[in-house]
């Protein structure tokens, strides 16, 4: 399945970002801690090559803590890169984010060389929540300024530290099929760009091998490991009363149950990919 989702304003964003990136000292990218590889934007990587980077694994409350540690180590092994895990319950996100950025840029700071840091992330990754939380604490939002487009805002985390915010940015074409499905499952992709049944089946296929017990607890049945995902989806639909016309089980409604449960964290904290799995998908996609 190819997911195509690149609304018009994103073309403008790409162009604006390419211009913005030139003037910033570092880039903070929010990643979904449940799918850190798939939620990392290759377009952004291309635009920001060579800049120090802070990777922020957000929604860590929904992710498997052991795999979050694996991902943090994996990301921090890159040059000029730091990684942090966070979620919306973080009490002082601005302080942690600022400290991490200052550590990345030890030679900047002060009013002569203020820090300018771009913050970005794909849609639904929790960027507005984080920014609102920071604004609610000590940061101040600045008004219109020349050179700052309407779609951007500057948030002063300190007198000498500006965060430049951009709207969500997804890449024009998701080349790695597995990533496209996981992004759709996470809610990062517009609803009309994918088939819910296909995404729910793929999600079950990812979750069952590692977290079969969670599904068994949630839906009170334990399918055989070899049972096809279709069958499992149908049984979830039966157990959840997902019925369509004529009282038949509706796979569409069963898929909605599965996706809503995953997105709300009803299965407990889980992570959908390891760095090795993600690297293997990318290699296979590149070889196609
Ligand atoms: P965006 O700006 O990156 O597009 O994302 P936004 O902040 O709007 O967050 C998208 C959804 O993710 C919101 O839920 C938000 O509450 C939720 N969210 C953000 N950060 C976290 C987090 O750290 N942990 C968890 N579990 N959820 C988080 P929503 O259902 O779309 O809206 P609402 O129910 O909050 O109104």
Residues 1-14 pLDDT 10s: 556 555 556 677 67
CA of 88 to the centre of ligand 1 (A): 8
Average pLDDT, the chain: 87
Residue with tokens 């759709």: 184
The protein residue whose alpha carbon is closest to atom 27 in ligand 1 is 59
Reported pTM: 0.90
Q: Are 3 and 180 in contact (CB under 8 A)?
A: yes
Closest CA to 168 of 120, 119, 117: 120
Coarse DSSP helix, strand, coil percentages of the chain, rounded to the nearest 5 percent: 50, 15, 35
Q: Where are the domain boundaries for CATH 1.10.1580.10 in the chain?
A: 195-287
Q: Tokens in use for 33?
A: 């801690």
- Tell me how far apart the alpha carbons of residues 236 and 234 are, in angstroms, rounded to a whole number: 5
- Tell me how far apart the alpha carbons of residues 129 and 183 are, in angstroms, rounded to a whole number: 19
- pLDDT (tens digit, 9 = 90+) per residue, 53-72? 999 999 999 999 999 999 99
**pLDDT for the residue numbered 75:** 97
Angle at 62 between CA 80 and CA 76, to 5 degrees: 15
Range ranked top by mean pLDDT from 94-108, 149-163, 172-186: 94-108
Q: Are 193 and 171 in contact (CB under 8 A)?
A: no
Tally Cβ neighbours within 10 Å of residue 104. 21
The protein residue whose alpha carbon is closest to atom 31 in ligand 1 is 124
Substitution candidate for ligand 1 out of 96, 129, 165, 265 with most atoms within 8 A of CB: 129
Is 217 annotated as a binding-site member?
Answer: no
**pLDDT for the residue numbered 3:** 60
The protein residue whose alpha carbon is closest to atom 30 in ligand 1 is 264
Res. 169: pLDDT tops 80: no
**pLDDT for the residue numbered 77:** 96
- Tell me how far apart the alpha carbons of residues 50 and 46 are, in angstroms, rounded to a whole number: 9
Q: Which three-class secondary structure state does DSSP give residue 208?
A: helix
Q: Tokens in use for 178?
A: 């597995």
Question: What CATH number labels 195-287?
Answer: 1.10.1580.10
Superfamily for domain range 8-165:
P-loop containing nucleotide triphosphate hydrolases (3.40.50.300)
Substitution candidate for ligand 1 out of 126, 266, 270 with most atoms within 8 A of CB: 126
Q: Where are the domain boundaries for CATH 3.40.50.300 in the chain?
A: 8-165
Q: Provide residues with CB under 6 Å of ligand 1.
A: 58-59, 61-62, 87-88, 121, 123-129, 168, 265
């Amino acid at each position: 399945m190819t997911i195509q989702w690149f609304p018009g304003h994103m073309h403008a964003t790409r162009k604006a970002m390419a211009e913005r990136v030139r003037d910033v000292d570092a880039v903070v990218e929010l990643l979904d801690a449940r799918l850190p590889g798939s939620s990392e934007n290759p377009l952004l990587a291309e635009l920001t090559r060579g800049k120090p980077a802070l990777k922020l694994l957000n929604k860590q409350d929904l992710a498997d803590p052991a795999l979050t540690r694996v991902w943090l180590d994996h990301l921090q092994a890159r040059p000029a890169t730091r990684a942090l895990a966070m979620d919306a319950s973080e009490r002082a996100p601005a302080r942690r984010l600022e400290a991490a950025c200052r550590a990345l840029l030890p030679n900047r700071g002060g009013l002569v060389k203020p820090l300018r840091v771009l913050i970005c992330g794909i849609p639904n990754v929790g960027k507005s929540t984080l920014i609102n939380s920071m604004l609610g604490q000590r940061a101040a939002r600045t008004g219109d300024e020349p050179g700052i487009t309407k779609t951007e805002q500057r948030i002063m985390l300190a007198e000498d530290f500006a965060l430049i915010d951009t709207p969500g940015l997804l890449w024009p074409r998701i080349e790695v099929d597995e990533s496209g499905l996981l992004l759709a499952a996470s809610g990062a992709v517009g609803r009309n760009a994918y088939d819910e049944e296909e995404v729910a089946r793929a999600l079950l296929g990812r979750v069952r091998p590692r977290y079969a017990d969670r599904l068994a607890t949630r839906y009170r049945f334990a399918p055989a490991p070899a049972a096809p995902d279709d069958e499992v989806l149908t049984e979830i639909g039966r157990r959840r009363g997902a019925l369509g016309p004529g009282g038949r089980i509706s796979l569409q409604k069963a898929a909605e149950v599965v996706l809503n449960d995953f997105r709300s964290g009803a299965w407990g904290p889980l992570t959908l990919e390891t760095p090795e799995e993600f690297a293997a998908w990318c290699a296979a996609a590149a070889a196609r």
